[in-house]
Amino acid sequence: MKFGYTIVYVSSVTNTLQFYKKAFGFETRFLHESEQYGELNTGETVLAFASHTMGEMNFVNGYQKTDSSASPLGIELAFVTEEVFEAYSKAISLGATSISEPIIKPWGQTVAYVRDADGVIVELCSPM
């Protein structure tokens, strides 16, 4: 068994892919012609996005949708970078919402948190 990919259901796959490219530098790996599903090149593990339409199709009994106006879901995407302060500032300038400005944790790691347009938590952190 191996971890294949993470899928986050969002309101606009195309807009989300564009934001993650501009804010974090991830290139689109795949975008289905329907624009209902897309993937980013993020390294070893694929980060994918699917539309809420697909979520409604896949989960006929419903699911908790990502929503920027609600409390964030209890999950985060963590991106490791040597340039946490710069990554944080860039994400904010491109429309992310700040949860926590960069701080140095007691164990020495620099960490910041933002939310994307769909309310997904993104951790920006230095390597351990």
Q: Which of 72, 119, 123 lies closest to 102, judged by CA?
A: 123
Angle at CA of residue 115, ends 124 and 10, nearest 5°: 115
The average confidence (pLDDT) of the chain is 95
pLDDT at 44: 86
- For residue 21, what is the domain's CATH number? 3.10.180.10
Query: What's the structural domain count of the chain?
Result: 1
Q: Compute the distance between CA of residue 75 and CA of residue 101 in angstroms, rounded to an integer.
A: 18
Tokens of 103: 């701080």
The beta-carbon contacts of 57-64 under 8 Å, at least 24 apart in sequence, are 63/9
Domain interval for residue 54: 5-125
Q: Give the global pTM.
A: 0.90
Q: How confident is the model at residue 95 (pLDDT cuts 50, 70, 90)?
A: very high
